[in-house]
Amino acid sequence: DIQMTQSPSSLSASVEDRVTITCRASQSIGSYLNWYQQKPGQAPDLLIYGASSLQSGVPSRFSGSGSGTDFTLTISSPQPEDFATYYCQQSYSIPHTFGQGTKLEIK
């Protein structure tokens, strides 16, 4: 199985900050990397697919980059509604493993 490791597991930020979350795969997965946002009591929502493509309707302050084994999710200026938990997921091979999640909190 491909292991997905996210860091950090949690972080505090203010709306003036630039937030970066990283995700590392245990083997190369090309661009088969997706990012999801989950708010408490809700199902996850797709943010980024194919490592860097923004899902329709997602604000442009979200961006993704990377390929192979190392990936990054960046939030350029997090808004109050962005404070949530973020998960990366590899869709390269089954089982389609997720990272352990990164909880973004307000500083």
The smaller minimum CB distance to other proteins, of residues 14 and 70, is found at: 70
The smaller minimum CB distance to other proteins, of residues 14 and 28, is found at: 28
Tell which phi-psi region holds residue 51, choosing left (phi > 0), alpha (psi between -120 and 50) or beta: left
DSSP state of 40: T
The smaller minimum CB distance to other proteins, of residues 31 and 77, is found at: 31
- For other proteins, the binding residues (CB under 8 A) are 1, 30-32, 34, 36, 38, 43-46, 49-51, 53, 55, 67, 87, 89, 91, 94-101
Least Cβ distance, residue 69 to other proteins (angstroms)? 15
Whether 104 and 48 have beta carbons less than 8 Å apart is answered as no
Q: Give the whole-angstrom CA distance, residue 38 versus residue 84.
A: 6
Least Cβ distance, residue 87 to other proteins (angstroms)? 6
Reading the block at residue 44, the tokens are 């996850």
